[in-house]
Amino acid sequence: MATTEVLLDGTHDSRQLRNALGRFPTGVTVITTGAHGKREGLTANSFSALSLDPPLVLWSIVRKAASLPAFLASGHFAINVLAANQPEMSHRFATPAADKFGGLDVEDGLGGSPLLPGALASFECATERTIEGGDHILFVGRVLRMRYSDGDPLIFSGGRYCTALPMRSPTATQDIDAVWVGLG
């Protein structure tokens, strides 16, 4: 197995940072907002759980994103977790466009944040705070309402869309069960 080591001394190639970060697989979300009747949304894999009590989630948006002013103005956003059969939805919301919602049968969620059809889960949030983080702005949201369905998630790993295969090993399953029981 070939290993690459890079010292981050300011002269490194940012592609190498992306390559290393891409070793960490994530789900794929589309995060939406609906400030003043104008819908905005972007594909984001920076979404993460933050706190169970209170229920908080976080994600980050690049400062130069066209949709950033709408997210800052709105005070609400919705996380739409994409299902395994939605790579086109991911592509649509990762591509700049005047109206990314054309032809989509969306539902208006809390605060006017659009909920996408076919999503595996949605988290409707009020913005709790924003934090500056380098070339990104971090959004912390309080979850006000959520929905979830059965199905498989879309995965992003190594710069590619993938699907997840659950491990069938009984010991692996038992170990995870024990961890969750431990967390209450």
Ligand X SMILES: Cc1cc2nc3c(=O)[nH]c(=O)nc-3n(C[C@H](O)[C@H](O)[C@H](O)COP(=O)(O)O)c2cc1C
Contact status: 86 vs ligand X (CB under 6 A): no
CA–CA separation, 60 vs 140, rounded Å? 9
CA–CA separation, 81 vs 28, rounded Å? 6
State the number of CA atoms in the 13 A half-sphere of 123 facing the CB.
22
* Residue with tokens 């609400």, as numbered in its chain: 76
Contact status: 66 vs ligand X (CB under 6 A): yes
* Residue with tokens 């300011």, as numbered in its chain: 10
- Residue 170 is inside which H or E element, if any? helix 170-183
Single out the residue of 94, 121, 138, 162 in contact with ligand X (rule: CB under 6 A): 94
Single out the segment in contact with ligand X by CB under 6 A; choices: 17-25, 65-73, 74-82, 112-120. Answer: 65-73
- In sequence order, the 6+-apart residues with CB closer than 8 A to the CB of 64 are 135
Q: Which is nearer to ligand X, 98 or 183 (CB)?
A: 98
Single out the segment in contact with ligand X by CB under 6 A; choices: 42-50, 104-112, 118-126, 139-147. Answer: 42-50
Single out the segment in contact with ligand X by CB under 6 A; choices: 1-9, 73-81, 88-96, 173-181. Answer: 88-96
Q: Which residues bind ligand X (CB under 6 A)?
A: 28, 42-46, 60-62, 65-67, 90, 94, 96, 156
